[in-house]
Structure 1
């Protein structure tokens, strides 16, 4: 049975006998991607795993829900790139190979109608996108020269020191205003969900090294072909088949260590005992839970400093349903506008044309929108959308939705790495998972899966045990 809204609250299946793990009984709190990946790894290694989720659905922040007044299932669009090796490995295990639509080009649109497409050609990496880049009308020669010079700095990798902001890097490397607006900004703000001054060069450089230079496969764009809770349901089924006892609508009420060093968990009115606990919750909830546990003064100070350094960043999405096709595109980056991305979900999900067209507009780092009302956000977005797609003016707009997610991601601010917590904690047998922990990735679905697998490895005493290898470099990049 696939878990999701309206599904059974308790899902159990038998687990095959396996060798005894370091911790034979483990409770995982939170059925987002971090918790699901931890539970699958641990159960596969022979542990008896219980997975508790307070919501009636899986996915954590990557979820979808039935909008009560729209009679539609909506979510905030998440995407995958080819270098997300751990997420793709988990998806393959769950039999989700056909659940992603893969695209080999990025389309950039200007309000004047100019269209640029960055796609892989026949040249070896890192030059596989060079021809389409040189032909892109969105950039002038001086812009392209500056961008090429900037990308060369990420050719051998990216800085391991995260102290410099990307805003400082752009100034230091002499990037033009047009290069910033038409290349660096849509990529960085879209990928890291933050402004340049709040993004470190380390993680911005990682985006460009992995997605633009390392190999054509690493930069492929994958978009879920169904609402997120449905998209992730096979992973919950995989967990169930591996023997995980998954319980929805089971919120954690208390957590404490017993006299013999085990853990007592109370959830949904029931008490449970386990050798180890993995907290796969967001950093705000995790902080609240850890504050209930006794700790040494220096450990408490270190934890407080870490949580104080973590800040959330919002995303706002605008959902539009038209009576006919108006875009002619599956997805696009929109330039010189408040909207970063267009996703035409009806095309991605292969709707029949008779159903009309469903579009989602994404505004990343949307702090101004948090203070705006629905109608103000909608009217502004529609005006900008119609500049790019005039056909929308002749179509009938059937219904609309606006979704604000104030805590969509965390900000990879300069200097954050020293505060990101490891999966092991000062309390023996208690471990942390979540994209905000120490994963060497920004706030992404891949980061969440990595955190869950790292936490499972820490439980087993082998930190890297469940990690997938990085995607190998190809072409000339394998020598660089």
Structure 2
């Protein structure tokens, strides 16, 4: 296929870099390198930036492909929002407060809340746990003891990665109900796997950092605008201002070293030459592009599994949910978000049902999903019983995240490769975090730090703190 030559980049003396991939990891790496005075070209095969956190048009609606949230403890992603001047568009709630509705009760649906108080850890969760109605008094007491045991775990212990979180919870007295109503309620949404399928190392990191590190660590933030406004429009504006040459619809076909130690990056119709290359693409694409000798065991990248996320989108003719979001028990529905204002809908209400760890449903026909989820929403939200469904559609990300299975930690590579000048980024790399927007940004920072060190460039003072990105 023919490809027009890339336009000339703005001329700036000094080092050059090519970043392959325009998701959050690639955009972060490109901004960090450009802020240090490196002349950067960012190449993205899709027609937009943002990776798997993007928006598209469906008639008059602006739809996010999936619901993405972050927590106050996601300091790297918060830095990213500041860097692209988007923080005001994705605010944090003042204090953790999650409505949790259980519909599978003989006496009917029951509302509880997961929330915190402005008290020191772990007292900040004491009242919320003590009044959480979806667990018995004995279960709440055992949850408290398990939380303290979790807090005592050493996240640097490699043995944690070989164990599964579900077995650890069972060994620490957690009932199946406690796992469903608390541990998986949080863990499935953050890890994209149930406790029994999750590495203890990653699960412990999530709960220690999010719930047991700082009183406000788990406060939830989400975009009040389409994700494309943040991860494409504002990101592209920030890249342009930093002097980055951004090319979409441009897929890299190969990488090779030159005789003088630089890198040739081949795209259809042209070869770009750079001092450094950051590969910020999924693990299989990384494997396909890696030159021989770049990693000791590159086949390990193919052993990093993937996990799907399904999103069910329903437009009603009237408001049926008062809260901005809620979590559900006793139903296949996991989390429901109100996306009415962000989508531009002028009448009625648009709900997005976010279903993580959706291996059993990801390929079901839309008609089957409609027959499954509309009755569940009627049980969960009484207002839907008299409402008309004006639209129903689904979005599917079959490889939304890497699978956080026990042992995955040893498969995740760091930012540096054995090929000088070649670096890796992506939420699937060794950030210590599960596959989240936070992990993606941290990986971009780590790759940029490694490249700047090799290039002899000073680290930008406004870059996210390196000790936090380790």
> Counterpart of 1:53?
44
> Counterpart of 2:264?
264
Does the aligned pair in 2 maintain the 1:192–1:443 contact within 8 Å?
yes
Distance 1:444 1:126, change over 3 A: same
> Counterpart of 2:69?
79
Normalising by the residue count of structure 2, what TM-score does the alignment of the two structures yield? 0.90
Distance 1:361 1:189, change over 3 A: same
**Residue 137 of structure 1 aligns to a residue in which SS?**
coil
> Counterpart of 2:405?
413
Does the aligned pair in 2 maintain the 1:263–1:276 contact within 8 Å?
yes
Q: Residue deviations 1:390-412, cap 9 Å, x none?
A: 21020111011111110000011
> Counterpart of 2:438?
446
**Residue 332 of structure 1 aligns to a residue in which SS?**
strand
Q: Residue deviations 1:353-389, cap 9 Å, x none?
A: x521000001111111134211111211111111011
> Counterpart of 1:6?
none
Does the aligned pair in 2 maintain the 1:339–1:381 contact within 8 Å?
yes
> Counterpart of 1:207?
206
1: CA distance between counterparts of 2:63 and 2:343? Answer: 15
> How many residues in Structure 1 have an aligned counterpart in Structure 2?
449
**Residue 217 of structure 1 aligns to a residue in which SS?**
coil
Does the aligned pair in 2 maintain the 1:253–1:268 contact within 8 Å?
yes
Question: What is the Cα deviation at residue 73 of structure 1?
Answer: 2.7
Does the aligned pair in 2 maintain the 1:85–1:470 contact within 8 Å?
no
Question: What is the Cα deviation at residue 321 of structure 1?
Answer: 0.5
1: CA distance between counterparts of 2:338 and 2:344? Answer: 10
Question: What is the Cα deviation at residue 216 of structure 1?
Answer: 2.6
Distance 1:124 1:12, change over 3 A: farther
> Counterpart of 2:217?
218
Question: What is the Cα deviation at residue 47 of structure 1?
Answer: 0.4
User: Given the alignment, which residue of 289, 292, 295 partners 2:293?
Assistant: 295
Question: What is the Cα deviation at residue 40 of structure 1?
Answer: 0.3
Does the aligned pair in 1 maintain the 2:305–2:402 contact within 8 Å?
yes
1: CA distance between counterparts of 2:464 and 2:112? Answer: 37
Does the aligned pair in 2 maintain the 1:264–1:271 contact within 8 Å?
yes
1: CA distance between counterparts of 2:8 and 2:66? Answer: 30
> Counterpart of 1:5?
none
**Residue 57 of structure 1 aligns to a residue in which SS?**
coil
> Counterpart of 1:98?
88
Alignment of 1:186-335 (within 5 A): 186-232=185-231, 233-290=233-290, 293-295=291-293, 299=295, 302-304=297-299, 306-335=300-329
Does the aligned pair in 2 maintain the 1:90–1:235 contact within 8 Å?
no
Establish whether residue 126 from structure 1 lines up as the match of residue 122 from structure 2: yes
Question: What is the Cα deviation at residue 11 of structure 1?
Answer: 9.3
Question: What CA RMSD, in Å, does the superposition of the two structures yield over aligned residues?
Answer: 2.4
**Residue 189 of structure 2 aligns to a residue in which SS?**
helix
Does the aligned pair in 2 maintain the 1:11–1:247 contact within 8 Å?
no
Q: Residue deviations 1:7-46, cap 9 Å, x none?
A: xx9899968x79x5xxx10000011000000000000011
**Residue 118 of structure 1 aligns to a residue in which SS?**
strand
1: CA distance between counterparts of 2:190 and 2:215? Answer: 18
- Structure 2: runs of 5 or more not aligned: none
Distance 1:379 1:451, change over 3 A: same
Distance 1:469 1:25, change over 3 A: closer
**Residue 417 of structure 1 aligns to a residue in which SS?**
helix
Does the aligned pair in 1 maintain the 2:415–2:429 contact within 8 Å?
yes
2: CA distance between counterparts of 1:269 and 1:12? Answer: 15
Does the aligned pair in 2 maintain the 1:52–1:251 contact within 8 Å?
yes
Distance 1:99 1:11, change over 3 A: farther
- Higher mean alpha-carbon deviation, 25-34 vs 372-381, is at 372-381
> Counterpart of 2:110?
114
1: CA distance between counterparts of 2:88 and 2:8? Answer: 26
- Higher mean alpha-carbon deviation, 43-52 vs 71-80, is at 71-80
Establish whether residue 395 from structure 1 lines up as the match of residue 426 from structure 2: no
